[in-house]
């Protein structure tokens, strides 16, 4: 019994704590499996009835749904594509199925129940509303159409018009939703790539790109540009004594402290490990020193708590004014020298060059 249960669960998605598989992904796979079964029954029904043309439509739909299931179950990166294409084709088939009756009434009603389930669970906002209303109208119209056809009265023009209008509305909604979601996902990925996953400060690459822009501005407008290089004192001891999880907690708190003490126009990036670099536009040495001291003193008074123990940590800062006669590498070396001068002089201080 356990083997059967695990087999059924694996059809919907990996049943393992080591693999993250969301409920929404399993839901999609379940609907695809149900639709595969529906198309299969329709295929055998049409073969028995001798409707070979409809049997070919059913088997083609079944094979396509199997391919969508393969993408959704084993190639999760393509799952959004599977969703959009699948719903797109369901609505695209609706006027054809309506007129031709290629699938039985039960299967046809069930098909639109699947669309309703998709739209209710997967989409959101106005797109969900359009799908729900469209699907409900289609289901009601199908029922009315069946009653009219039983009385040998035909309203094919009305049937086609309703089906095509609702299909167009649904497809436009899918297109809008797909484009909008793609833009949001792209923006989200870009934002994640620009920020360090632990401290949420800018990554070194993104920070340097913005730094170069400020360099051009500083040179063109002949404005001051200052740099602060910071390094946590004896950070290795924290990792060795309290563990790396505690060390990560310290880095997060230090990053918050840095953000709290600088302006919105300043650039703070994680330079590497426990080193941080802050770029201050429109700032001379004295103001940069004041900012560095504000950060240093703020971190010095933080009471870190890890493993039921509390401790404090200090930071050393090096400050330098950007020299427009030197390139960016030479300026980074200059502020780095200020930092290590502070390290050699006893740590927990700010040194200006």
- Choose, from 191, 274, 328, 333, the residue flagged as catalytic: 274
The residue-averaged pLDDT of 204-219 equals 90
The string of DSSP letters for 163-226 reads HHHHHHHHHHHHHHHHHHHHHHHHHHHHHHHHB-TTT-SBPHHHHHHHHHHHHHHHHHHT--EE
Q: Return the pLDDT at 311.
A: 92
Q: How far apart are CA 330 and CA 338, in angstroms?
A: 13
Q: What per-residue string of b and e applies to 177-200 under the rule 16 or more CB within 10 Å gives b?
A: bbeeeeeeeeeeeeeeeebbeebe
Q: Return the pLDDT at 85.
A: 63
Q: CB-hemisphere CA count at 13 Å for 302?
A: 22
Q: Return the pLDDT at 68.
A: 76
pLDDT tens-digit profile of 324-343? 888 889 999 999 999 999 99
Predicted confidence band at 102 (pLDDT cuts at 50, 70, 90)? very low
Q: How far apart are CA 111 and CA 121, in angstroms?
A: 16
pLDDT tens-digit profile of 272-324? 889 999 999 999 999 999 999 999 999 999 999 887 788 999 999 999 999 98
Q: Which sign does the torsion angle of CA 282, 287, 289, 293 carry?
A: negative
Q: Outline which parts of the chain fall under CATH 3.30.70.270.
A: 204-352
The verdict on whether 274 is a catalytic residue reads yes
Q: Which is more confidently placed, 152 or 123?
A: 123
Do residues 82 and 35 make contact, with C-beta atoms less than 8 angstroms apart?
A: no
Per-chain mean pLDDT for the chain: 77
Max avg pLDDT among 21-35, 140-154, 292-306: 292-306
The 3 state secondary structure assigned to 111-177 is HHHHHHHHHHHCCCHHHHHHHHHHHHHHHHHHHHHHHHHHCCCCCHHHHHHHHHHHHHHHHHHHHHH
Pair of tokens at residue 141: 């119209």
Q: Does domain 204-352 have CATH number 2.60.40.420?
A: no
Helix (H, G, I), strand (E, B) or coil at 342: helix
Q: Comparing 29-43, 188-202, 235-249, 254-268, which segment has the lowest mean pLDDT?
A: 29-43
Nearest to 333 by CA among 322, 343, 342, 344: 322
Q: Return the pLDDT at 105.
A: 47
Q: CB-hemisphere CA count at 13 Å for 115?
A: 33
Q: Return the pLDDT at 104.
A: 46
Predicted confidence band at 49 (pLDDT cuts at 50, 70, 90)? confident
Do residues 336 and 343 make contact, with C-beta atoms less than 8 angstroms apart?
A: no
Pair of tokens at residue 263: 């302006």
Pairing label, strands 275-281, 304-306: unpaired
Q: Return the pLDDT at 119.
A: 61
CA-CA-CA-CA dihedral for 283, 287, 293, 299, to nearest 10? -50
Predicted confidence band at 217 (pLDDT cuts at 50, 70, 90)? confident
pLDDT tens-digit profile of 81-100? 666 666 656 655 655 555 55
Indicate whether this model's pTM tops 0.75.
no
């Amino acid at each position: 019994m356990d083997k059967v249960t695990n087999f059924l669960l694996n059809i919907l998605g990996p049943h393992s704590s080591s693999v993250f598989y969301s409920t929404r992904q399993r839901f999609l796979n379940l609907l695809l499996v149900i639709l595969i079964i529906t198309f299969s029954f329709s295929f055998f029904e049409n073969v028995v009835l001798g409707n070979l043309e409809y049997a070919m439509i059913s088997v083609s739909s079944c094979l396509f749904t199997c391919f969508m299931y393969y993408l959704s179950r084993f190639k999760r990166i393509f799952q959004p594509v599977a969703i959009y294409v699948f719903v797109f084709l369901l609505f695209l088939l609706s006027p054809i199925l309506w007129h031709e009756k290629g699938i039985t009434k039960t299967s046809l009603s069930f098909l639109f129940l699947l669309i309703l389930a998709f739209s209710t669970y997967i989409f959101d906002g106005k797109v969900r509303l359009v799908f729900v209303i469209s699907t409900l109208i289609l289901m009601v119209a199908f029922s009315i159409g069946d009653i009219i056809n039983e009385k040998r009265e035909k309203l094919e023009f009305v049937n086609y018009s309703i089906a095509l209008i609702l299909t167009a509305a649904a497809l436009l909604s899918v297109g809008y939703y797909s484009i909008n979601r793609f833009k949001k996902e792209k923006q989200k990925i870009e934002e994640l790539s620009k920020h360090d996953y632990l401290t949420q400060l800018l990554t070194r690459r993104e920070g340097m790109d913005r730094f170069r822009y400020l360099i051009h501005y500083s040179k063109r407008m002949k404005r001051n540009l200052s740099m602060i290089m910071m390094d946590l004192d004896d950070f290795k001891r924290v990792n060795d004594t309290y563990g790396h999880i505690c060390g990560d907690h310290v880095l997060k708190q230090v990053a918050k402290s840095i953000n709290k003490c600088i302006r919105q126009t300043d650039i703070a990036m994680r330079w590497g490990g426990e080193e941080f670099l802050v770029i201050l536009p429109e700032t001379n040495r004295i103001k940069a020193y004041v900012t560095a001291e504000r950060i240093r003193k703020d971190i010095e008074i933080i009471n870190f708590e890890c493993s039921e123990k509390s401790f404090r940590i200090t930071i050393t800062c090096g400050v330098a004014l950007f020299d427009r006669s030197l390139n960016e590498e030479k300026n980074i070396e200059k502020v780095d020298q200020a930092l290590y001068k502070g390290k050699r002089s006893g740590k927990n201080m700010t040194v200006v060059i």
